């Protein structure tokens, strides 16, 4: 039996589901129940009736699934798959940041650990960051950990003061302005779409700035045929696969072949099979931390309803 069939059999046997982030290796979709961004996957984790959730993604995402489904067994095949941005902030430096700017609500990007979320007021994703900050209806917010996403929100909401923590995604930060300019020359008929984790100069030179979900929705609706994408390779691989499968006749080009998140790529079909078979790498979150962190996520759902 192929590894894919073996995983699918095990899933049935154990009443398990696999949630897969769109930055994962594309072959993992073959065994996945849901594929998408953090927000979508969090919602699926919150509503599933499965006993086991295997998260094909990185640590903070599996933690979010556990927070939203505390009675389920949540497994992360590669327990060392972290997020370099999420790891730039911790309880200690977050406390210092808050002490420097007291009594200001703290918005945290979902790319943060449960321990960090437990000390923040509301969470957001790249799809709803502007909406979350706007709906808080306050004159000032602290935004952690991504300073580029924070600055992107600031541009959309000039009447709110957004004080950003100095975190960033080292993968998206690799994208250079010159690469955008070269893409314009090399693909004159293409649209250039970037993620708000990119630096502001890169973002400003592109045709569209959006989360992975927004980028994917945009290109499907567009009547253009060629797109240069400035976000993680998994998004481009899925778009090219779907273009072939559904005859869209569209071509997607990754801005730079190095826009690959090494932590996201740690998962393999073999690792998934072994994790599900042995039920290893279970996510556990200390009760008090979980209680506070889930409040931060619930507040996001509440205000974006």
Nearer to ligand SF4, 50 or 123 (CB): 123
Residue 58 interface partner, choices ligand CIZ, ligand SF4, none, CB cut-off 5-8 Å depending on type = ligand SF4
Least distance (Å) between residue 92 CB and ligand CIZ: 24
Residue 126 interface partner, choices ligand SF4, ligand CIZ, none, CB cut-off 5-8 Å depending on type = ligand CIZ
Nearer to ligand SF4, 115 or 263 (CB): 263
Q: Which residue has the tokens 């931060």?
A: 296
What are the φ and ψ backbone dihedral angles of 75, each rounded to 5 degrees? -115, 140
Cα–Cα distance measured from residue 255 to residue 257, given in angstroms and rounded to the nearest whole number: 7
Contact 61, 272 (CB under 8 A): no
Residue 280: how many CB atoms within 10 A of its CB?
13
Nearer to ligand CIZ, 48 or 231 (CB): 231
- Residue burial 122-151, b: 16+ Cβ < 10 Å; e: rest: bbbbbbbbbbbbeebeeeebbbbbbbbbbb
Region 215-254 residues binding ligand CIZ, contact defined as CB under 6 A: none
In this structure, the dihedral spanned by the alpha carbons of residues 200, 144, 299 and 291, taken in order and rounded to 10 degrees, is 150
Instruction: Supply 64's token pair.
Output: 């979010």
Cα–Cα distance measured from residue 180 to residue 99, given in angstroms and rounded to the nearest whole number: 39
Residue 264 interface partner, choices ligand CIZ, ligand SF4, none, CB cut-off 5-8 Å depending on type = ligand SF4
Residue 63 interface partner, choices ligand CIZ, ligand SF4, none, CB cut-off 5-8 Å depending on type = none
> What binding mask, one character per residue, do residues 33-72 give for ligand CIZ by CB under 6 A, x or -?
----xxx---------------------------------
Binding residues for ligand SF4, rule: CB under 6 A, are 58, 83-85, 111, 169, 171, 197, 232, 261, 263-264
Which residue in the set 42, 48, 212, 240 belongs to the binding site for ligand CIZ (CB under 6 A)? 212
Q: What is the DSSP string of 120-186?
A: SSEEE-TTTHHHHHHHH--SEEEEESBHHHHHHHHHH-TTSEEEEPSB--TTGGG--HHHHHHHHHH
Region 61-120 residues binding ligand CIZ, contact defined as CB under 6 A: 110-111
Nearer to ligand CIZ, 211 or 243 (CB): 211
Give the footprint of ligand CIZ on this chain (CB under 6 A): 21, 37-39, 110-111, 125-126, 195, 211-213
């Amino acid at each position: 039996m192929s590894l894919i069939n073996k995983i699918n059999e095990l899933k049935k046997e154990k009443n398990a589901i696999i949630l897969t982030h769109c930055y994962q290796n594309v072959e993992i979709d073959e065994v996945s129940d849901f594929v998408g961004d953090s927000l979508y996957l969090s919602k699926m984790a919150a509503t599933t009736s499965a006993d086991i959730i295997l998260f094909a993604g990185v640590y903070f995402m599996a933690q979010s699934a556990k927070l939203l489904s505390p009675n389920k067994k949540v497994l992360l095949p590669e327990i060392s798959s972290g997020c370099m941005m999420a790891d730039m902030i911790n309880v200690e430096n977050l406390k210092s940041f808050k002490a420097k700017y007291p009594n200001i609500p703290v918005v945290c990007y979902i790319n943060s650990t449960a321990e960090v979320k437990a000390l923040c007021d509301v969470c957001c994703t790249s799809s709803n960051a502007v909406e979350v900050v706007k709906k808080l209806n306050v004159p000032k917010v602290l935004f952690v950990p991504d300073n580029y996403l924070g600055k992107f929100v600031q541009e959309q909401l000039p009447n709110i003061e957004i004080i950003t923590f100095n975190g960033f995604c080292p993968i998206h930060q690799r994208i250079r302005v010159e690469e955008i300019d070269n893409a314009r020359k090399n693909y004159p008929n293409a649209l250039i779409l970037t993620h708000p984790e990119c630096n502001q100069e890169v973002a400003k030179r592109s045709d569209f700035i959006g989360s992975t979900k927004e980028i994917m929705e945009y290109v499907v609706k567009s009547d253009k045929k060629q797109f240069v994408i400035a976000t993680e390779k998994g998004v481009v691989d899925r778009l090219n696969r779907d273009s072939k499968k559904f005859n869209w006749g569209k071509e997607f080009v990754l801005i730079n072949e190095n826009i690959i998140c090494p932590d996201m790529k740690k998962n393999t079909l073999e690792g998934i099979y072994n994790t599900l078979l042995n039920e290893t790498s279970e996510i556990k979150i200390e009760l008090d931390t979980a209680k506070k962190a889930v409040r931060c996520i619930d507040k996001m759902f509440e205000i974006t309803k």
